[in-house]
C-alpha cells in the first residue's frame, strides 16, 4: 500500500487557532497518516505559504515548523504565495482600516495558489500511479473538482478527505461515500491518531519550542469557550475498523 498525504497547511492552521486542540498543529504528518494506514509506505506533500510580514518571532516559528516537516517528517514542501490586498467595504468599495488603535492596517494578506497546487499534485500523482490511497487534509470545498477527476480517471485509487476537527463539513464532502462507495469518504481528523513531534525536538537545533505549541497548552487565545469532544467511528465499540483507516486487502503493490 502506498499512501500519500496532501496537507493544506494554512487551512489546518486557521481552523486550529481558537480551538483547544491547537497544539496538534505541531504535527508529524508522516506518522499521523501512518496511524490511519498501518504498514503503508507513506509520503507527505505539505502545502503552505511563507509569512511575509515583519514579526520576527512569527518568522522563526514558521521556519522551525517547516524544518521539522522536512527533516523529521520527510515532507515535500510546496509553496503558494502571499499577496497584499487593500481592505475595502464590500458594499461601496471604500477603503477601510483595522479598528484597533494599535494597528490601523489598511491592507490584508491573501494566500494564493495553494488550492490549485494541491489539486494539480493530487491529479498528477494519481495519473502517474504514485499512490493507492490519498489522504487529503483540508476543509476547502474548492478541491472537490480534483477529487471527482481522480475518481473518474483512475478508478483503482482511493481518496480520503480528513477535515480539521470540529469544522463544518460541506455537503459536497459528506456525499463522497455515497458517490464512490469504498473508494472515497470524508471525515474529521481523529485527535487520537494525531502524532506530534516531540516537544524537545527543537533542542536538536539549539532552538526552543514556543510555549503555546507544547502538548496540553490549550487553545490560542488562552481563554477559549469550552469545546465539545470530537466523536468518531473509531471511538464507537462493536464496529470493525473502517476501510479508510487500515491498509489490509487493498491496493498493495508489494
Residues 6+ apart with CB under 8 A from 221: 18
Domains held by the chain: number: 1
* Rounded distance between C-alpha atoms, residue 211 and residue 199, angstroms: 10
pLDDT value, residue 228: 37
85-96 core/surface letters (b: 16 or more CB in 10 A; e: else): eeeeeeeeeeee
> Which domain range does residue 78 map to?
2-82+113-243
Q: What is the pTM (predicted TM-score) of this model?
A: 0.80
- Angle between the 114-127 and 144-153 helix axes, to the nearest 10 degrees? 10
pLDDT per position as a tens digit, 113-149: 688 999 999 999 999 999 999 999 999 999 999 999 9
Taking the C-alpha atoms of 13, 118, 127 and 75 in order, what is their torsion angle to the nearest 10 degrees? -50
97 inside domain: no
* Rounded distance between C-alpha atoms, residue 195 and residue 34, angstroms: 9
pLDDT value, residue 230: 35
* 108 DSSP β-pair partners: 85
120 inside domain: yes
253 inside domain: no
Cβ atoms of 135 and 19 closer than 8 Å: no
The three grid cell numbers given for residue 161, joined into one nine-digit string: 478527505
pLDDT value, residue 235: 44
Residue from 249, 226, 253, 246 nearest 18 by CA: 226
* Rounded distance between C-alpha atoms, residue 206 and residue 204, angstroms: 6
pLDDT value, residue 227: 32
20 inside domain: yes
pLDDT value, residue 153: 96
Q: Which residues of the chain fall short of a pLDDT of 50?
A: 83, 221-237, 249-254
11 inside domain: yes
pLDDT per position as a tens digit, 168-182: 999 999 999 999 999
Query: Quick one: three-class SS letters along the chain?
Result: CEEEEEEEHHHHHHHHCCCCCHHHHCECHHHHHHHHCCCCEEEEEEEECCCCCCCHHHHHHHHHHHHHHHHCCCCEEEECEEEEEECECCCCCCECCCCCCCCCCCEEEEEECHHHHHHHHHHHHHHCCCCCEEEEECCCHHHHHHHHHHHHHCCCCEEEEEECCCCCCCHHHHCHHHHCCCCEEEEECCHHHCCECCCCHHHHHCCCCCHHHCCCCCCCCCCCCCCCCCCCHHHCCCCCCCHHHCCCCCCCCC
162 inside domain: yes
106 inside domain: no
pLDDT value, residue 251: 44
Which CATH number belongs to the domain containing residue 121 in this structure? Answer: 3.40.50.1010
103 inside domain: no
Amino acid at each position: 500500500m502506498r499512501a500519500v498525504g496532501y496537507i493544506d497547511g494554512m487551512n489546518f492552521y486557521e481552523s486550529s487557532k481558537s480551538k483547544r486542540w491547537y497544539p496538534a498543529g505541531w504535527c508529524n504528518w508522516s506518522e499521523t497518516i501512518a496511524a490511519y494506514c498501518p504498514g503503508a509506505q507513506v509520503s507527505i506533500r505539505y502545502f503552505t505559504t511563507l509569512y511575509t510580514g515583519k514579526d520576527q518571532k512569527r518568522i522563526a516559528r514558521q521556519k522551525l515548523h517547516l524544518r521539522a516537516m522536512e527533516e523529521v517528517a520527510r515532507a515535500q514542501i510546496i509553496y503558494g504565495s502571499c499577496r497584499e490586498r487593500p481592505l475595502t467595504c464590500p458594499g461601496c468599495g471604500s477603503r477601510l482600516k483595522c479598528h484597533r488603535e494599535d494597528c490601523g492596517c489598511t491592507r490584508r494578506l491573501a494566500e494564493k495558489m495553494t488550492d490549485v497546487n494541491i489539486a494539480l499534485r493530487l491529479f498528477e500523482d494519481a495519473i502517474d500511479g504514485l499512490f493507492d490511497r490519498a489522504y487529503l487534509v483540508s476543509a476547502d470545498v474548492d478541491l472537490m473538482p480534483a477529487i471527482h477527476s481522480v475518481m473518474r480517471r483512475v478508478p483503482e485509487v482511493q481518496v480520503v478527505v480528513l477535515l480539521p476537527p470540529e469544522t463544518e463539513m460541506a455537503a459536497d464532502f459528506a456525499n463522497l461515500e455515497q458517490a464512490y462507495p469504498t473508494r472515497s469518504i470524508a471525515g474529521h481528523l481523529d485527535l487520537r491518531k494525531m502524532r506530534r513531534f516531540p516537544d524537545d525536538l527543537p533542542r536538536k537545533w539549539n532552538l526552543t519550542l514556543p510555549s503555546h505549541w507544547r502538548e496540553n497548552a490549550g487553545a490560542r487565545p488562552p481563554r477559549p469557550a469550552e469545546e465539545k469532544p470530537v466523536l468518531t467511528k473509531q471511538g464507537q465499540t462493536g464496529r470493525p475498523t473502517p476501510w479508510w483507516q487500515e491498509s489490509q486487502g487493498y491496493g498493495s503493490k508489494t
